[in-house]
Structure 1
Amino acid sequence: MQKTQVNSVLPHLAKNQSKNIVFVVNNPLGYDEWLKCIGQKRLMIGFPSAGGELKNGVVNYFIGRGIARAFQTTTFGELDGKTTRRLTAVVKAFNRSHIPTVTNSNMDAWQKTHVALVTSIANALYIHKSNNYALSKSTKDIRLMIQGVKEGFQVIEALGYKVTPHKLQYFKMPVGLLSFIFKIIMSTKIAEITMSRHTVVAHNEMKLLQKEFDELIKKSNRTTPYIDKLRKYI
């Protein structure tokens, strides 16, 4: 589900008797409200490496495999970072279904990092009306996107979190090199399915995520001129 739908679901989950409830949804601000409703013993956090759309009754989807995992892998974790039996069981189930899946011991940092990443990418796409191919042809806007992501990661680190997962440290490469790489990425069908089309159907969610990430920016006391530019386009 989208972050905009969480509040409407929580009261129903509070009454649900399931022993395990896995939230697979963007969330940069922590889990206090979720814990109040369902408790830590039942709560698990995850996020998919996948994308898709429902068109004419048919689901067209993409699952992150191979080189796509350099960007994101389906991930699950416990709030306390422990490797539990249920966590192992969930990961095994996904891997048996040919959906590459890993665990992470700090899902809060993972999700904060993810929102720092996707908000700048989404806002850059909105400059071009969610057309990833048009974005791929604009060196200026690709560079703005990369600089926004870098600023977002600096916000995360200023708040005492590590950029998570560690593989995203490649964003420390020079802007010019990253821009070259992302011009290629944004020109692909994968970018269309997993990024571009998603920004169309999740516009309200992206607005909310930007608003929530702005709260983290404020707490960090950092200036974010590139994010400020990108924010105008949402």
Structure 2
Amino acid sequence: MKLLIIEDEPEMLENMTQTLERQRYIVETASDYKTALYKIGVYDYDCILLDISLPDGNGLELLKELKSSGKDEGVIIVSAKDSLDDRLEGLNLGADDYLPKPFHMAELHARVKAVLRRRHFEGNQQIKLGNLVISPESRDVKIDDLSVALNRKEYDILMYLITNKKRLVTKSALAEHVWGDHIDQADSFDFIYSQIKNLRKKLEHATLTIEAVYGVGYKLELV
């Protein structure tokens, strides 16, 4: 799962980033309005942590831009501005939650998990696809009740394909979502093929397949 933290306080940004990276999220950051606007326009995220007060703009304007563009990222407003008006405006604009500063990092993690579960998994603790069962909070993967050991990238690829099941996922979208925006510096997407190949082997007894669309990308299909 990939997150974007929009926060202008360096210490807070660092603490939030370290906390969520320890939970094995892919975390990208923006410390000003201009950078954040660029990133939400170019990249896709599972959840955005949004500060209202930015040095060069208002975070609520970013939320308006996000929703007007038709993107469906989960949004948690994280801000010291705890007035009722700000909270109501943010929620009315489509934010999923509002977390006032200061807060414990454990609460931040809990809020992120809750938003991801509601948006991607309809609030369920487990994802079931045929004989495949995934527990997102523990990252456990089982086929017919037998555990399957996936490395971090294999797991992230599987989860991205599941959240986009039956849709064609391009190689570039998959690479950017699993490896982050630094993927722009890659010379090719050959490394994706290697990860997909290993993932297919580990899922050979699952009642689903990862179909390749030559030259374009991949699609998850139930069998």
* TM-score over 0.5 for the pair: no
Higher strand share: 2
Higher relative contact order (CA 8 A, sep 6+): 1
Higher helix share: 1
Sort the TM-score into its range (normalised by shorter chain): under 0.3
**When the two structures are superposed, what TM-score results if normalisation uses the length of structure 1?**
0.27
**When the two structures are superposed, what TM-score results if normalisation uses the length of structure 2?**
0.28
